[in-house]
Amino acid sequence: MFTGIVEELGTIVARDDLSDSARITVAGPLVISDAGHGDSIAVNGVCLTVVDYGEGRFTVDVMAETLHRSSLGGLEPGSRVNLERAMAAGGRFGGHIVQGHVDGVGEVVSVSPSDNWTVIRIALPAALSRYVVEKGSITVDGVSLTVSAVGDDWFEISLIPTTLAETNLGIAEPGRTVNLEVDVIAKYVERLHSQATRGE
């Protein structure tokens, strides 16, 4: 489990495309400092398993399903990615419950900077719109954020300078795709409600 508090802005240093997967190497000296083989690291909000590591880098295998269902398919050497280690059992819970399981891919519609923050509007898949509410939590490329406004097929997030400086959302431009994970509690509530109304 993760919390959506990005620990490090990493860089893709290599990508090897295989027949049904890709092997990606990421520079992330902080997140790999105490990691080992088999540990989980969220890369742009996608929970991935470390298969090799050393010299401030780690390598992950990404299956075709993940490449197709997330924005990881568009990564290439030089891409900046948000990194977070799995939460330790006694760790501080700074964001919200994040599983690292992407629910869909959104697209940046607009970026509106002001003196003290920047508002980003993101178009989201219709199937996810019911889970997104104003002042609710959402994960965008692995960053735990609060929804500041919402429409039928979009939502907005308001980013402070720290988030802009320490995550790849600071370089977001219209047209860029981002990984979205909605609040898992909302999905559980919906499932329980649907079963209750059917009398299960």
pLDDT at 189 (0 to 100): 78
User: What are the residue boundaries of the structural domains of the chain, listed by start?
Assistant: 8-85, 104-191
Long-range own/partner contacts, residues 27-31 (CB < 8 A, 24 or more apart):
27/56, 27/57, 28/56, 28/57, 28/58, 28/83, 29/56, 30/83, 31/7, 31/58, 31/83, 31/84, 31/85
Q: Confirm whether 8-85 and 104-191 share one CATH topology.
A: yes
pLDDT at 200 (0 to 100): 61
Q: How is domain 8-85 classified at the architecture level of CATH?
A: Beta Barrel (2.40)
CATH number, domain 104-191:
2.40.30.20
Percent of the chain whose pLDDT exceeds 70: 94
Of residues 181, 1, 7, the one with CA closest to residue 86 = 1
pTM here is 0.91
Q: Which residue bears the tokens 């900046």?
A: 80
